């Protein structure tokens, strides 16, 4: 039977981390021993106080529809949290709660970008940015992130890529997949361009609490930027709540109304009992999150040192998130591999180590000749050491 698909589906990408995870699970089910660095999910459980708040919410019958923009109590709590952590005042009317942070990427672009507009986005970067830009009929314009700048963008290069059709700049700091962070000077330069050319900014800040070196800063705190910035944040990473599907966007009230209307048309609303748990997450004890970040910092040091001890591998020390993005160009060359994708495949099937290739995070930039892998160190120290041992044994013995 012929199935006629909408043409727009050819523009919609995916997140290949889940495809690799499915293959890892298939191999494990066959009895294979795999050390996985592929998925960006904290390996910690949701803190007990948050789980208990969610259970109580169900028992108290928070099981019905809620407002599309989110429960008033959570929006008020998020507004207070944003005002405190970003240093600029937010009101509940500027907050939209969604099932996870991804809907804000989708709804935020839908509400501000027209077909034919151009959107600048980080590359390598979270693949959903490019996917949604293309899906709405806009043109994705990659901004190369440079290893020589610890995977920060080159502001002069960014300026050259702005055209009369440019409508938006997307930034992500701390960054997936590299763990890089933008400096205050970077944010100020981006803000200057946004103000000069009347551009929207989506600032993906879901890793804002997972920072090891330096201080997290938001572009929304720069004068004139709050009104034109859609900040994305959520509970998945900070509170190990990936399965709860709870995130939010902070934006000016006019766009918040549009995004809430998109939410009405898409999911109706976010589950109410998870929102009550979210209130507890933001207002309750923060010790579990702080302990998790300390553990991630220790794992970061182990994995960076271990990768740099493998012949042909070099790895910049990430400043945030829980990813490393080692350069494996020399390894690929020595093994006669055309790309990091081929190295990823051989590591999986021959060494029992699951990683992601550079191309899981966007097509290579023009002139980009280096090869990279992404490893998530959201796994135990024991797994990290064993995975590194396997990688070193495989790479140095071939």
Residue with tokens 């839908």: 110
pLDDT tens digits, one per residue of 282-340: 999 999 999 999 999 999 999 999 999 999 999 999 999 999 999 999 999 999 999 99
What count of other Cβ atoms lies within 10 Å of the Cβ of residue 31? 6
> Is 0.85 topped by the overall pTM?
yes
Say yes or no to pLDDT of 17 above 80: no
Q: Taking Cα atoms as reference points, which of 138, 102, 96, 98 lies closest to residue 120? A: 138
Q: Taking Cα atoms as reference points, which of 99, 84, 133, 92 lies closest to residue 248? A: 99
> Which pair of tokens denotes residue 23?
């293959």
Q: Could you give phi then psi for residue 19, rounded to 5 degrees?
A: -70, -45
- To the question of domain 63-283 being in CATH 3.60.15.10, the answer is no
In 87-138, which ranges are E strands?
A: 95-98, 118-123
pLDDT tens digits, one per residue of 41-91: 999 999 999 999 999 999 999 999 999 999 999 999 999 999 999 999 999
Confidence of residue 149 (pLDDT cuts 50, 70, 90): very high
Residue with tokens 């190369």: 144
Query: Would you give the DSSP letter of residue 247?
Result: E
Q: Could you give phi then psi for residue 356, rounded to 5 degrees?
A: -115, 145
Residue with tokens 């490893």: 375
> Which pair of tokens denotes residue 232?
């994305």
Residue with tokens 């990473």: 237
Alpha carbon distance 86, 300 (integer Å):
26
Residue 275: what pLDDT? 98
Q: Taking Cα atoms as reference points, which of 117, 130, 104 lies closest to residue 258? A: 104
Q: What is the mean pLDDT of the chain?
A: 95
Say yes or no to pLDDT of 264 above 80: yes
> Which pair of tokens denotes residue 49?
């106080």
pLDDT tens digits, one per residue of 212-258: 998 999 999 999 999 999 999 999 999 999 999 999 999 999 999 99
Alpha carbon distance 89, 180 (integer Å):
27
Hey, where are the domains in the chain?
7-45+288-397, 63-283
Alpha carbon distance 365, 151 (integer Å):
14
Residue 75: what pLDDT? 98
Instruction: Compute CA 318 distance to the chain's CA centroid, rounded to the nearest angstrom.
Output: 14
Q: Which fold has domain 7-45+288-397?
A: 3.90.1150
Q: What angle do CA 17, 18, 23 make, to 5 degrees?
A: 100
> Is residue 30 within 8 Å of 233, Cβ to Cβ?
no
Alpha carbon distance 261, 255 (integer Å):
10
Enumerate residues 6+ apart whose C-beta is below 8 A from 10.
Answer: none
Residue 1: what pLDDT? 58
Residue 2: what pLDDT? 67
Residue 14: what pLDDT? 79
Enumerate residues 6+ apart whose C-beta is below 8 A from 78.
Answer: 70, 90, 92, 95, 97, 248, 250, 278, 282
Number of H helices, E strands in the chain: 13, 13
309-341 in b/e burial notation, b at 16+ Cβ within 10 A? ebebbebbebbbbbbbbbbbbebbeeeebeebb
pLDDT tens digits, one per residue of 349-385: 999 999 999 999 999 998 899 999 999 999 999 999 9
Q: What percent of the chain has pLDDT over 90?
A: 91
Query: What is the Cα gyration radius of the chain?
Result: 21
Query: Would you give the DSSP letter of residue 39?
Result: -
Instruction: Compute CA 23 distance to the chain's CA centroid, rounded to the nearest angstrom.
Output: 22
Q: Where are the alpha helices (DSSP H) in the chain?
A: 16-29, 48-59, 72-86, 102-112, 127-135, 155-160, 184-197, 253-266, 272-283, 287-308, 329-335, 340-346, 381-397
């Amino acid at each position: 039977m012929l199935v006629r698909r909408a043409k727009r589906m050819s523009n919609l990408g995916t997140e290949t981390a889940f495809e690799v995870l499915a293959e890892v699970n298939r191999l494990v089910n066959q009895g294979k021993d795999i050390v996985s660095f592929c998925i960006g999910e904290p390996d910690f459980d949701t803190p007990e106080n948050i789980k208990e708040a969610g259970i109580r919410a169900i028992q108290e019958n928070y099981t019905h529809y809620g407002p599309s923009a989110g429960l008033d109590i959570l929006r008020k709590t998020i507004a207070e949290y944003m005002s405190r952590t970003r240093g600029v005042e937010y009101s509940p009317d500027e907050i939209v709660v969604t099932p996870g942070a991804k809907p804000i990427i989708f709804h935020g672009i839908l509400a501000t970008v027209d077909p034919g507009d151009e959107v600048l986005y980080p590359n390598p970067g979270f693949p959903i940015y490019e996917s949604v830009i293309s899906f709405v009929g806009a043109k994705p314009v990659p901004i190369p992130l440079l290893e020589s700048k610890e995977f920060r963008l080159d502001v002069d290069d960014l300026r050259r890529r702005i055209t009369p059709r440019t409508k938006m700049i997307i930034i992500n700091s701390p960054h997936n997949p590299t763990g890089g962070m933008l400096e205050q000077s970077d944010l100020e330069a981006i803000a200057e361009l946004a103000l000069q050319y009347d551009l929207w900014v989506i600032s993906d800040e879901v890793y804002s609490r997972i920072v090891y070196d330096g201080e997290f800063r938001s572009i929304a705190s720069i004068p004139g930027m709050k009104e034109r910035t859609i900040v994305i944040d959520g509970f998945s990473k900070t509170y190990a709540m990936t399965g709860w599907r709870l995130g939010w966007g902070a934006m000016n009230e006019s766009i918040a109304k549009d995004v809430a209307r998109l939410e009405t048309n898409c999911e109706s609303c976010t589950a109410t009992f998870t929102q009550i748990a979210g209130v507890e997450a933001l207002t309750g004890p923060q010790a579990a999150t702080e302990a998790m970040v300390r553990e991630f910092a220790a794992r970061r040091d182990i994995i960076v040192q271990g990768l740099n001890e493998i012949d042909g591998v070099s790895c910049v020390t990430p400043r945030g998130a829980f990813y490393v993005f080692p350069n494996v160009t020399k390894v690929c060359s020595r093994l006669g591999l055309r790309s990091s994708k081929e190295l990823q495949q051989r590591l999986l099937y021959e060494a029992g180590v699951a990683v992601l290739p550079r191309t899981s995070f966007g097509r290579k930039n023009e002139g980009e000749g280096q090869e990279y892998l992404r490893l998530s160190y959201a796994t135990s120290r024991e797994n990290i050491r064993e995975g590194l041992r396997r990688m070193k044994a495989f790479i140095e013995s071939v």
